[in-house]
Chain A
Amino acid sequence: MLRNHKKESLVALLLISPFLAIYGLIFVYPTIDMFFLSFQKAPLIGDGKWIGIDNYTRLERDRRFDTAMWNTAYFVALSVVPGTLIALFISIGVYRLSGRIQSLVLALFFLPYILPVSVVYRIWDWTLNFQFGIGMYLFDWLAMDRIPIFKVTGWFMPAVAFVTIWWTAGFSILLFLAGLRAIPAEIYEASALDNSSRWQTFRRITWPLLWPVTALVLTIQLILQLKIFDQVYLFSVGGRPNDNLVMVYYIFQRAFVNNDGGRAAAIAVVLFIIVVVVSVLNFQLLKFAERK
């Protein structure tokens, strides 16, 4: 039968048009508009005035932008690789269990992941509150000085990274567990016959065969943590917001607190470029590692 290619592509176009329309309206159009907005002196809502690249050149001398950049990088460093390693470690432990116990332990580790961020904030705020937090009695018991964890810059990011790992590890554990289950038992049997040590088994079998999953978890974590906002915002309410700034928080601050849509858009463009570059680099790097 002769196929009418023209007609087929027309039908295809017709079928995907609802998606294209929505995608264009709520993603492509706002993105393009954001690029234009970044060249204007504009309020959050309403028309602006064209000012060229001023919004970008200002970023160079903007100390808050520096803070936001460094804090975001610091947070990514504190959360992505450590978070992935912890999840891997826990999943290997959970994998060794069996039956009901395994389901129960897995459920316990997964539980925090289903909580909304506001609840996570409340739990940890109550735990670590300087005056009344139960965690503080631990300090007292150890005869140490209490530390106002979320009010001191040195403790803030590590604490938020810790809470984030506690909160999101469940999902990574699930992915790792699926990866571990996909490794055939025969390979382990063969290595056991060859008298390989536990470390050798992990290093030569588990780790390479699990690599695609590890790469996936790393990529998901990286993109997610570059866009960190909720936890940082909630934990620094009333405290030291300008010292704890991260990129998305700074965009929010410029746009919604300072009513400065143009400068907010310029920062958003910079973050957009960083996320694109880092994800591409990450992907290439992981592919390279896989080939090796």
Chain B
Amino acid sequence: MKSFKKFSITSALLLGLSTAAYAEEKVVWWDFLGGGDGVRMKQLISEFNTANAGEVSIDATTLEWGVPFYTKVQTSVAVGEAPDIMTYHASRIPLAVEQNVLDEITPADWDAMGLSSNDFAEQIWDGVTGPDGKIYGVPLDTHPIVLYYNKDVLEAAGQLNPDGTPKGMGSREEFTNMLKAIADSGSVKFPLGSVTADGNFMFRTIYSLVGQQNGELMTDGEFLAGDNAEKLTNALSVLQEWTTSGLQSTYTDYPATVALFTSGEAAMMINGVWEVPTMTDLHAGGKLFEWGAVELPVIFDKPATYSDSHVFAIPKGSATDPAKRAAVLKVMAGILNESLFWATAGHIPANNSVTNSAEYKSMEPNATYSTLTANMIYDPKTPLAGVAGPIFDVMSTHFVPTLNGELDPAEAVAYIKEDLNDM
């Protein structure tokens, strides 16, 4: 017994000593940034760690995007093993609040970071506001989809404006004609590369086209009410038409779409801004043609582009200790201040101070497509929405056959409506 007492005293002393020697606060970080943007985030993290050596250090882990990430978050919060800070999608905040996995970012926290609602665009701030009016995330960026294009191919087909942007961007007819002209030039396999094998991804494109007709997915808790169903049918019809007339790649999954574009087999591609670093890096290495990225074409009545935000969130029950909390807030504010560099990952930074800077305004291709920020639409605010959420599954199942010409658009919309209201 005596020896045990002695042992415990020694170990307590040792523990005390070690905490004194290592006052550095370790912040456990999880993200789902696995692409070219992940490389840039790792650089930001290591720069932060160097700048704050001895005070705060980030211990970062990158996990699989989508359902695996969000499942792990949920279970880890339940057993008290969640990280101190994590990346999250703003579109999933309503579901997260229902699941009770996020901690509120309190007014005191905002003061500590030196940030407030004035630093963000209204839509972005709205995205991190929960159904209860509390704020659940610190917005890092907004990441819409854009139209990538191969300048060499478009120029050869006579489809390039003098300023280097594509010609037929104003209407459905103009855009289809441009696709046809590219097809006729015979230099590519597909004028447009789309992720037609992945309905999850296509949700972004299709929802943008619905938004271009002023359509909405959910009104007063009902899905596709009134003429919204017809608007979804219109959106699906135009995409199906491109496929069946051979203008768009069929049954192409995500990696294959990027490969079709970068190998020059597809002249254009609709994809997220997060592929910008892929293009930049390939081009810098001399392995890519001249390329550009612009806001989506106006196929219907007005410009509209689907977007989502990456935000920082604190899992429920994490970082409750004041010192830890302070460190976490320091990390968030620190990375946000460096988000001009984050913009090289293609994303549009969320904080106005960065997007208003002259440096940002001269950045390419960001400057060309940043006009779209005025036309962004977000997911409906419901626990059923969000990347890899329930709506995604329903849509995906019916989008894939429709986009590839197997299913009639109107029929698909009837199924979708039935399935959505069934949930």
> A131 near B400 (CB under 8 angstroms)?
no
Contact of B99 among A44, A131, A240 (CB under 8 A): A44
Contact residues in B for A239 (Cβ distance below 8 Å)? 197-199, 396, 400
Nearest residue, chain A, Cβ from B68: A256
Contact residues in B for A62 (Cβ distance below 8 Å)? 422
Q: A132-B259, A253-B393 are in contact. Are A44 and B251 (CB under 8 A)?
A: no
CB-defined interface of A98-118 with B at 8 Å, one 1/0 digit per residue? 000000000000000000000
Q: A45-B74, A45-B78, A258-B390 are in contact. Are A240 and B400 (CB under 8 A)?
A: yes
- B249 an interface residue at 8 Å Cβ cutoff? yes
> A257 near B199 (CB under 8 angstroms)?
no
- B404 an interface residue at 8 Å Cβ cutoff? yes
> B100 near A256 (CB under 8 angstroms)?
no
Main secondary structure on chain A at its contact with chain B? loop
> A238 near B197 (CB under 8 angstroms)?
yes
Contact residues in B for A129 (Cβ distance below 8 Å)? 253, 256
Q: How far is the CA of A132 from the CA of B266 in the complex (A)?
A: 14
> B75 near A257 (CB under 8 angstroms)?
no
| 10 cross-chain CB contacts under 8 A | A62-B422, A130-B253, A131-B251, A131-B260, A132-B256, A132-B259, A148-B404, A238-B199, A238-B201, A243-B397
- Residues 41 to 55 of chain A near chain B (Cβ within 8 Å): 43-46
Interface size class of A (residues with CB under 8 A): 20 to 34
> A148 near B422 (CB under 8 angstroms)?
no
CB-defined interface of B322-341 with A at 8 Å, one 1/0 digit per residue? 00000000000000000000
- A259 an interface residue at 8 Å Cβ cutoff? yes
- B394 an interface residue at 8 Å Cβ cutoff? yes
> A241 near B260 (CB under 8 angstroms)?
no
List residues of chain B with CB under 8 Å of any chain A CB. 67, 70-71, 74-75, 77-78, 95, 98-100, 195, 197-201, 249-254, 256, 259-260, 383-384, 388-390, 393-394, 396-397, 400-401, 404, 406, 419, 422-423
> B100 near A46 (CB under 8 angstroms)?
yes
List residues of chain A with CB under 8 Å of any chain B CB. 43-46, 62-63, 129-132, 148, 151-153, 238-243, 253, 256-259
| Count of A-B contacts judged by CB separation below 8 Å | 87
Q: How far is the CA of A210 from the CA of B329 in the complex (A)?
A: 68
> B98 near A43 (CB under 8 angstroms)?
yes
Contact of A242 among B256, B384, B393 (CB under 8 A): B393
- Give the shortest distance, in Å, between A119 (CB) and chain B (any CB): 16
Main secondary structure on chain B at its contact with chain A? helix
Q: How far is the CA of A258 from the CA of B254 in the complex (A)?
A: 24
> A130 near B256 (CB under 8 angstroms)?
yes
Contact residues in A for B394 (Cβ distance below 8 Å)? 242
- Give the shortest distance, in Å, between B253 (CB) and chain A (any CB): 7
> A256 near B256 (CB under 8 angstroms)?
no
> A130 near B75 (CB under 8 angstroms)?
no
Contact residues in A for B199 (Cβ distance below 8 Å)? 238-240
Interchain residue pairs A-B with the least CB separation, the first 10: A238-B198, A148-B251, A242-B397, A130-B251, A131-B256, A45-B78, A240-B397, A256-B71, A238-B200, A258-B390
Nearest residue, chain A, Cβ from B256: A131
> B422 near A63 (CB under 8 angstroms)?
yes
Contact residues in B for A148 (Cβ distance below 8 Å)? 197, 250-251, 404
Q: How far is the CA of A242 from the CA of B77 in the complex (A)?
A: 28
- Give the shortest distance, in Å, between B399 (CB) and chain A (any CB): 9
Q: How far is the CA of A43 from the CA of B74 in the complex (A)?
A: 11
Q: How far is the CA of A238 from the CA of B200 in the complex (A)?
A: 5
Q: Name which of B71, B78, B199, B397 has the most chain A CB atoms within 10 A of its CB.
A: B397
Contact of A151 among B67, B200, B400 (CB under 8 A): B400
Nearest residue, chain A, Cβ from B401: A240
Contact residues in B for A256 (Cβ distance below 8 Å)? 67, 70-71, 74
